[in-house]
Amino acid sequence: MEWAGLHDVDLVLDGSMGEGGGQILRTALGLSAVTSRSFRMERIRAARKKPGLQAQHLTAVLAAAQICQARVEGASLGSQRLAFWPGPIRGGQYEFDVGTAGSTVLVLQTVLPGLGLAKEASELILRGGTHNPLAPPFDFLVEVFLPILRRMGLRVEAELEAHGFYPAGGGQMRVRIQPTNQLQPVELLHRGRVLEHEIYAVLSRLPRHIAEREVETARKHLGWEKKCVRIVEVDSAGPGNYIGIRIQCEQVTELFTAFGQIKVPAEKVGLEAARQAEHWLQAEVPVGPHLADQLLIYLGLAGGGAFRTLAPSLHTQTNLEVVRCFLERVLRIEQQTEHQWLVVAESRR
């Protein structure tokens, strides 16, 4: 039987282009819901160790389909091709369960553009991983990303109800969305003075000395005072640990994290986070690499805005290409100095 998704779609995308990961699919799903443009994607995550749709990606597909009453073909575990025909977006009450330690933050990332522009408010419960080394953690969501969305007119509040670490999962967060009719452009060109900085480590079901070694390594590398350090012990379905370095400036807050792993010394984990923060501080840009990825969709939807960031990763460049496919916008990246790059969104005229 011929696959119906071979023909009647607005866009055809190669899921292996550029960085070739799940972000291509998540961005396509989110923008398809907003623009009502259908798409077919071939070779989804073709270069990955486990190609095709894994649990986290399948949850994102089904979640996107649910919020816009879409018709879908190819939505099954391991599938490397998908066709998606969106319908009208509908706000309301939703529950999405990844079923593994896969990132709930990335599932939210998929449905947020649509629900953020819906006619009704929404409340979501998402279950799975909340702190996953392959995705921005919940802390990044609330400290860095959502404050910028509020400046663009989209009110989103998120509450962590249970930590979920890899590989056990079992985390849960609740998200409330007050949509807007039109996103407002935002400019993040300067970060301003550093107002506050802190280093913290979170651990569950692991010896406290792990966190102590992580924060002390990071603190010494950055040359910060001891009073900026704290350790948080939580309970979760399985053991887990990460370090966060939060830097609050006049115009933006950034967060840099690294996750503890089996057979990786705590000192190495602390140093990894510290080097990320150091690189950002030295570049004197307001927007770090994860935030740059997140903002591309929203600048495109707003039809304007700009931000300065570090040299764009292949992940960011790939995401940019997907946004360009769906939106009639000019999104450009230009290098300004050795360490600073400017991203600009403009409406086509």
Catalytic residues, which ones?
315
Cα–Cα distance between 76 and 148 in angstroms, integer? 34
Cα–Cα distance between 30 and 22 in angstroms, integer? 13
Angstrom distances, CA of residue 212 to CA of 31, 257, 341:
43, 15, 36
Cα–Cα distance between 71 and 46 in angstroms, integer? 23
CB–CB of 104/127 below 8 Å?
yes
CB–CB of 190/180 below 8 Å?
no
Q: What are 74's two structure tokens? A: 């190819």
The secondary structure of residue 314, as a DSSP letter, is H
Can you state the percent helix, strand and coil of the chain, rounding each to 5?
35, 30, 35
Nearest to 116 by CA among 23, 31, 22, 24: 31
Cα–Cα distance between 51 and 318 in angstroms, integer? 18
CB–CB of 59/135 below 8 Å?
no
